[in-house]
Structure 1
Amino acid sequence: MKNIVLLDSAKPMFKGNLHLHTTWSDGAQPAAEVVEAFKAKGYHFLSISDHDRYARTGEFDSENFVTLPGMERGGLNPVEDKNPGYHFGVLDDPTVEPERERFGHLQAFEVPIPWEGDHSPQALIDEMRAHGNLVVFNHPEWHLTRFEDMVNYDGFFAIEIYNHATEWSTTSSYGAAYWDHALQNGKRVYGIAADDSHIHDDSWAVPEYGGGWIQVQAESLTHAGIVRGLKEGRFYSSTGPEVYDLRVEDGELKVRCSPCKFIMFKAFPQRGPFKGNFESGKPLTEASMAIEPDMTYIRVECVDFEGKVAWTNPVFVADLLS
């Protein structure tokens, strides 16, 4: 079995959010104010993902901060005039040569999208990719998305597994069950936590900004560098805990993290171990599990004493054996 390093504590990580809104759609603040709000919280990158309007915001980029062009494409509803329907995060991928012309700044798109049958979401995913974009399946729990959609549709590189806006507004924020369903059926997709923020008000007891994010280990803090890290799965998602190191070594998956109440290994088809210092109550900062050759994937969840979670991306066991 190969030894591999998935997240290396010796290398920098960059904090970012791929889902937020401004006055270009239904957000309350203009893009410049949103960028400054996230920078003040220590973020290194953002994608301004307004509804059905593509944003290219390089004017906000600097040596220590970068924006990734993108949007949220939605309005695709199986039942006319009924929500929720399908929404996809769309993120410019500069590492590929697109089949069609890339989208321009503030390019607007048709809403609602005509529903022409169950193939309509796939057609939308394919169109976004043809124009040189990565696609994220946004907030499936909020949509009450059918679990089979995670298997029947192809081409999205990630699933939104935590959406902060739907957590404080409708408690329908977690998508990890959809993620596991996709993984158990052979999909190679990653998990993303995001804010989906619309309003910035520091006086709120539950702030909408800064509730869910990703940490990407990238070769550089650039558009291309961040996207390469995303495509390679070299990131983790979090609502609080930090993951310092994740590696396969001597047949074990090993994780190091900030102090947590427990660490769960989610494996398939065998269920992974659940580890914590339950008698003493002392924080746990590392754990490991033996990898069995007949497992298909393993991922890790680190949960702190406030119930906040960090999710690693899956390790695909077949890659360790090839």
Structure 2
Amino acid sequence: MPFSNRIALPADTPRYKGNLHAHSTVSDGRLTPAEVAADFHAHGYQFLCLSEHDRYTDFSAELDREDFIILPGLEASAVLYDDIHARNRLKVHHMHGILGTDEMVAAAPRRFSHMDYVHPLERFGTWDGLVVAQQLGDYLAAHGCAVTYNHPLWSRIEPYDVLGLKGIFGIEVYNYDTENEGGDGADTVYWDLMLRRGARVGGIAADDSHHVLAFDDMFGGWVVVCAPELTRSAIVRALMAGEYYSSAGPEVRSWGVTDGCAWVDCSPCERVTLVAGGPIGGNRTVIAPAGELMEHAAFELRGTETYVRLECTDARGRRAWTNALFAD
């Protein structure tokens, strides 16, 4: 299938680094919201979503600076318990509601207020996971929020619990906290299963930071957004349009498709992988010669790809993920 020529991340567009998943003392984090924001600002971030469990917060008036903004939001929940008495969690849906663009907020039939509590949806024994996830996502969208899906592997979610979910702009493909806590922070399988079915959904790397002391859960996963200005509306609009990349280390300087060739310019990396929808064998990897690194890779497309995305891996094994471009 043909791909139109497109530069997905133009090199000359403004870039803003942010973390979409962080917790403070408002829920189960160790630091106050002001302390969390100050720490991310000191580490070179330009925006942060304080995504407290089931509690919507808007600290923007208090914590915004000229070079740093807060995205108001929450991490809402739906929980499947084994039964009404034992209440062991079998599965959870954790979904972000991030306050949307100015247009989305104006059109919303209702809005959250600062410190509103959103009671988790509860089910016992069995559930139709997709129906419950859609209900939760629709509720967040009705309050003017842009919606993402978080850490499906950690949440014990099966693919059928999320495949077909509508109205989300992204799914976490890397969660630094759950990766360091228990080795279940890599979620690209769920992402590609969605992409293979034509879902136009982006991949998100995030910290899920709590500033815990037992292990490192800060500054290990982030997004870099191409937006004309550092405002909530501009950042969220770019996120929803997929105009960003995610990273746990490497930088993606620019990438795109030109004359049937997918290419990327990146910081020095050991390997670059083309991930493609379509027939088996569409994925390909370029590996730098031993002892060398590369800053450019290109792949001639075969005409059978339904979508393409790129993963760049540095010498430490850390990855960056572009979003997908779909065939015409």
TM-score normalised by structure 2 residue count? 0.91
Residue 190 of structure 2 corresponds to which residue in structure 1? 178
Structure 1 residue 68 and structure 2 residue 104: aligned?
no
Q: Is the contact made by 1:89 and 1:136 (CA closer than 8 Å) also made in structure 2? A: yes
Supply the distance in 1 between the matched residues of 2:216 and 2:320 (Cα, whole angstroms). 19
Supply the distance in 2 between the matched residues of 1:107 and 1:89 (Cα, whole angstroms). 14
Q: Which runs of 5+ in 2 are unaligned?
A: none
Q: Is the contact made by 1:299 and 1:311 (CA closer than 8 Å) also made in structure 2? A: yes
Residue 94 of structure 2 corresponds to which residue in structure 1? 87
Supply the distance in 2 between the matched residues of 1:109 and 1:3 (Cα, whole angstroms). 44
SS in 2 for 1:274: strand
Supply the distance in 1 between the matched residues of 2:120 and 2:162 (Cα, whole angstroms). 24
SS in 2 for 1:211: coil
Supply the distance in 1 between the matched residues of 2:319 and 2:232 (Cα, whole angstroms). 27
Residue 51 of structure 2 corresponds to which residue in structure 1? 49
Supply the distance in 2 between the matched residues of 1:61 and 1:113 (Cα, whole angstroms). 35
Query: Which structure 1 residue ranges, 4+ long, deviate > 6 Å from structure 2?
Result: none
Supply the distance in 1 between the matched residues of 2:107 and 2:27 (Cα, whole angstroms). 26
Residue 23 of structure 1 corresponds to which residue in structure 2? 25
Q: Is the contact made by 1:263 and 1:300 (CA closer than 8 Å) also made in structure 2? A: yes
Residue 241 of structure 2 corresponds to which residue in structure 1? 232
**TM-aligned CA deviation for residue 107 of structure 1:** 0.6
Supply the distance in 2 between the matched residues of 1:99 and 1:8 (Cα, whole angstroms). 32
SS in 1 for 2:193: helix
SS in 1 for 2:262: strand
Amino acid in structure 2 at the alignment position of 1:109: V
Q: Is the contact made by 2:72 and 2:98 (CA closer than 8 Å) also made in structure 1? A: yes
Alignment of 1:23-172 (within 5 A): 23-58=25-60, 59-77=62-80, 79-80=82-83, 81-83=87-89, 84-94=91-101, 95-96=103-104, 97-111=106-120, 113-114=122-123, 117-118=127-128, 119-172=131-184
Q: Is the contact made by 1:76 and 1:121 (CA closer than 8 Å) also made in structure 2? A: no
Can you list the C-alpha shifts for 1:102-138, whole angstroms capped at 9, x where unaligned? 1111111214535694122211111111111111110
SS in 2 for 1:192: strand
Residue number among 221, 246, 253 corresponding to 2:230 in the alignment: 221
Supply the distance in 2 between the matched residues of 1:265 and 1:235 (Cα, whole angstroms). 17
Q: Is the contact made by 2:58 and 2:72 (CA closer than 8 Å) also made in structure 1? A: yes
| Worse overlay, 103-112 or 12-21 | 103-112
SS in 1 for 2:321: strand
SS in 1 for 2:178: helix
Residue 311 of structure 1 corresponds to which residue in structure 2? 321
Aligned-CA RMSD value: 1.7
**TM-aligned CA deviation for residue 79 of structure 1:** 3.2
Supply the distance in 2 between the matched residues of 1:117 and 1:263 (Cα, whole angstroms). 40
**TM-aligned CA deviation for residue 152 of structure 1:** 3.1
Can you list the C-alpha shifts for 1:55-103, whole angstroms capped at 9, x where unaligned? 1111211221111110000142253422241111111112324442111
Residue number among 271, 281, 292 corresponding to 1:282 in the alignment: 292
Amino acid in structure 2 at the alignment position of 1:143: S
Q: Is the contact made by 1:29 and 1:200 (CA closer than 8 Å) also made in structure 2? A: no
Structure 1 residue 273 and structure 2 residue 275: aligned?
no
Residue 295 of structure 1 corresponds to which residue in structure 2? 305
Q: Is the contact made by 1:78 and 1:117 (CA closer than 8 Å) also made in structure 2? A: no
Aligned pair count reads 314
Amino acid in structure 2 at the alignment position of 1:82: N
Supply the distance in 1 between the matched residues of 2:164 and 2:322 (Cα, whole angstroms). 24
Supply the distance in 2 between the matched residues of 1:253 and 1:67 (Cα, whole angstroms). 35
Residue number among 238, 241, 253 corresponding to 1:244 in the alignment: 253
Q: Is the contact made by 2:27 and 2:52 (CA closer than 8 Å) also made in structure 1? A: yes
Residue 265 of structure 2 corresponds to which residue in structure 1? 256
SS in 2 for 1:88: strand
SS in 1 for 2:21: coil
Amino acid in structure 2 at the alignment position of 1:315: L
TM-score normalised by structure 1 residue count? 0.93
Can you list the C-alpha shifts for 1:139-172, whole angstroms capped at 9, x where unaligned? 0010121112232322221110001110111100
Q: Which runs of 5+ in 1 are unaligned?
A: none
SS in 2 for 1:100: coil
Give the percent of matched residue pairs that are identical in Structure 1 and Structure 2: 37
Q: Is the contact made by 1:98 and 1:131 (CA closer than 8 Å) also made in structure 2? A: no
Q: Is the contact made by 1:52 and 1:109 (CA closer than 8 Å) also made in structure 2? A: yes
**TM-aligned CA deviation for residue 298 of structure 1:** 0.4
Supply the distance in 2 between the matched residues of 1:249 and 1:152 (Cα, whole angstroms). 31
